[in-house]
A = this chain, B = another copy of it.
Amino acid sequence: MTPVTHDLVHATQNAFGTGSLAAQIPFGLYVFKRLLSVGVKSIFGVPGDYNLRLLEHMYDDSLRDSNGGTLEWVGCCNELNAAYAADGYSRYTNGIGSVITTFGVGELGAISGLAGACSEDVKVLHIVGIVDYEISNQNPEMRLRNVHHLVPRLNDSNFVGPDYRIYSEMVRDKIACSAEYLDDLSTACDKVDKVIEDIYKYSKPGYIFVPCTFVDQLVSSRNLVERPTITLQDSVTKTSPDEARKLTNKILDLLYRSSTPAIVGDVFCDRYGLTKELNDFINRTGIVSFSSVMGKSVVDESSPLYMGLYSGKGHVGSVIEKFLSCDLVLHFGIEKNEINYGNYSYTYKPDAKVVELHPAYVRFYDHLSKEEEIYRNVNFVDILRLLGEKIEVPRLSLHYDSKFTPYNPDDLKLDEIDFGNDETSDITQVYLQKHLPGSLNPGDVLISDTGSFQFSIRDFKLPSQVKYIAQSIYLSIGMALPAALGVAKGMKDYPNLHILDYGKIEPGYQPRLILLEGDGAAQMTAQELSTIVRHQLPMEIFLWNNNGYTIERVIEGPTRAYNDIAPWKWTKLLEVFGDFDGKLSRSSTLETRSQLLKKLSELKSRYSKNRKGIDFMEVRLATMDVPSQLSGLVKDLMKR
């Protein structure tokens, strides 16, 4: 490796005419400096020959802060897992989650993780190290070469050179809000910045394709000097002040005339960093709140104003009843899809007025008159802030009747459908649903994989500031396990970032990370447990062992072999994956209710201040045992 010169600091003139210090630095270093500047402390990925020279720049001393802190590489077992981990990192930190892969073999392995991030509005940056024959000034004959990792042309590949951009065209305008194939070093830094800004702006993934020969070439660090960081706040679409005022007044008018308004906290509130603002607004105004499936845990469920999760037909009659009594619904951060909209069964009080607030529009809809007004190019970020400033609480005239009681999971009547009768009974998903929420402490982070149990979590009443993370619409099984790696790394890099009100957290409490994982899902991505062990990331893992794809069995083929999976010795998994002498983890099997309760209580109280190691609980469940929320949904889907 030839040492690169990047200490050549010289004064330069920035675009705005003010003088500032900029240096010539290798482009690879620029990339990492920029990532560090936006708060990225961990990068997930897999090395490959087209990204190795890029990775080398991660070790540059200038990336070290005064405490020796720097970017950490988190090597994953495979690229799909790395993408999921980056997704988890972003969901926890609400910043950029980064994944680095190599041309073709790596990037395509990760592609489903990126599609998931796109569907779920997660800020993932995918950096792909690519071959440079097309770009660099080499022998033009090189461009005819079919290089390794690059799929050749379907026809005439012995005569015609490959399409170097074939993979980038698979994602551009499809699953990435921004995708820059760097082919000109002089604009490369601007493009990196642009992709990061776009990721914040749209809360969707972005791609940067980096030719392996660019990374050692020198570029100006001017952008870093002129714009020391790129923030979410700077990047999002701005609403014109006039328009913001006008819309805010319009909403306030509706609010002042409403007696039973409701606030729905949906996914974009989380993604645009508005969780605190929204809860403050709810608390100050006394307006009741509902959550959505994708926005679960945005509104504080421990508040007496929390009425439950509404998603159309839903599951809890009392929640539906309350929602359908609201004459005004302010739906903050709305995302409309099959899951969030309850298979498009989302309805309102027949004469309700609805305001949909979204990063790109505000829509007013009057259910009685069927009149709608849509305002484009306005961002709910500005509107929510202005609402908070402008609202005159005394002008509200809220009149919620007696049915508007705080959400109470007792309304699920789980006792009536729970057939176990003593502590040696089998654990059921209904029993779990009754007891798991109580084992959570305020501030814990709960992540669930796609699967049958996930459907019951909607109706959990979460303690204050429990952050809940799950795929809601992409629903790719296996995602949560590597995502938990990313979340755990985020919690290490930024402890307590999700705690917005320390008054509600036990002083000094170190939040737990709890992963709920199906057995079929776990087999998809299980090897990433070894990365969790390797980095000694504390975590509690509940592995629902129900002998296969129970969620599919409910839909079709309950006893078919295609819904079976291979039996694994789950409690030995962490030993094989790196905890050779059992010092880093504790694995157990839970078969009875008493074993479960004992473990839940132990986990709730143990290690509250210095949590270490991994707790892995294999929970044995009956093959066809599912929460009633899922049976209801499937019945509904079958009707179509």
Residue of B nearest to A174 (CB): B166
Copies in the complex: 2
A475 at the interface (CB under 8 A from B): yes
Asked whether, in the complex, the Cβ of A534 is within 8 Å of the Cβ of B47, the reply is: no
Tell me, in angstroms, the Cα distance from A477 to B105 when the chains sit together. Answer: 8
User: In the bound complex, how far is the Cα of B361 from the Cα of A331, in angstroms?
Assistant: 63
| Contact among B477, B533, B573 for A576, CB-based, below 8 A | B573
The reply on A146 being an interface residue by CB < 8 A is yes
Q: Which of A91-99, A222-230, A244-252, A524-532 contacts B (4 or more CB under 8 A)?
A: A524-532
- Measured CB to CB, the closest approach of chain B to A72, in angstroms, equals 9
Chain B residues with CB under 8 Å of A174's CB are 151, 154, 166, 169-170
Task: Choose the segment among A17-25, A31-39, A405-413, A555-563 that binds chain B (4+ C-beta atoms closer than 8 Å).
Answer: A555-563
From B175, B338, B476, give the contact of A105 (CB < 8 A). Answer: B476
Q: CA A173 – CA B153 in complex, angstroms? A: 9
Any B CB within 8 A of the CB of A390: no
Determine if A148 and B75 form an interchain contact, defined as CB atoms under 8 angstroms apart.
Answer: no
Does A202 make an interface contact (CB < 8 A)? yes
- Asked whether A557 lies within 8 Å of B52 as measured between CB atoms, the reply is yes
CB contact between A145 and one of B109, B338, B576 (< 8 Å): that residue: B338
Q: Which residues on B sit within 8 Å (CB–CB) of A499?
A: none
In the bound complex, CA of A204 to CA of B151 (Å): 11
A568-624, CB < 8 A from B:
568-569, 572-573, 575-578, 580
Name, among A105, A569, A575, the residue most crowded by chain B CB atoms within 10 Å (CB to CB).
A105
A578 to B569 Cα, complex, angstroms: 7
Q: In this complex, what residue of B is CB-closest to A163? A: B174
User: Which residues of chain A have a CB within 8 Å of any CB of chain B?
Assistant: 1, 47-49, 52-53, 55-56, 58-59, 73, 75, 77-78, 80, 104-105, 108-109, 111-112, 115-116, 118-119, 138, 145-152, 154-158, 166, 169-171, 173-175, 177, 202, 204, 334-339, 344, 356, 358, 360-361, 473-478, 523-527, 530-531, 533-534, 549, 552, 555-557, 560-569, 572-573, 575-578, 580, 640
A271 to B251, CA, bound (A): 67
Q: Is the CB of B473 within 8 A of A56?
A: no
Using A149-B475, A336-B158 as known contacts, say yes or no to A568 and B576 having CB atoms under 8 A apart.
Answer: yes
Instruction: List residues of chain B with CB within 8 A of the CB of A109.
Output: 80, 112, 476
A474: chain B residues within 8 A (beta carbon): 104-105, 148-149, 151
CA distance A562 to B577 in the complex (A): 18
**B154 pairs with A202, CB closer than 8 A:** yes
| Across-interface contacts of A112 in B (CB, < 8 A) | 104-105, 108-109, 111
Residues of B within 8 A of A119 (CB): 150-152
Contact indicator B562/A566 (Cβ below 8 Å):
no
Minimum distance in angstroms from A195 CB to a CB of chain B: 14
Given contacts A53-B556, A109-B80, A475-B105, contact A339 B527 (CB under 8 A): no
Asked if A154 and B169 sit within 8 Å, CB to CB, the answer is no
Q: Would you give the shortest CB distance from A117 to chain B, in whole angstroms?
A: 10
A568 to B152, alpha carbons, bound, how many Å? 36
B73 touches A561 (CB 8 A): yes
Q: Is the CB of A344 within 8 A of B564?
A: no
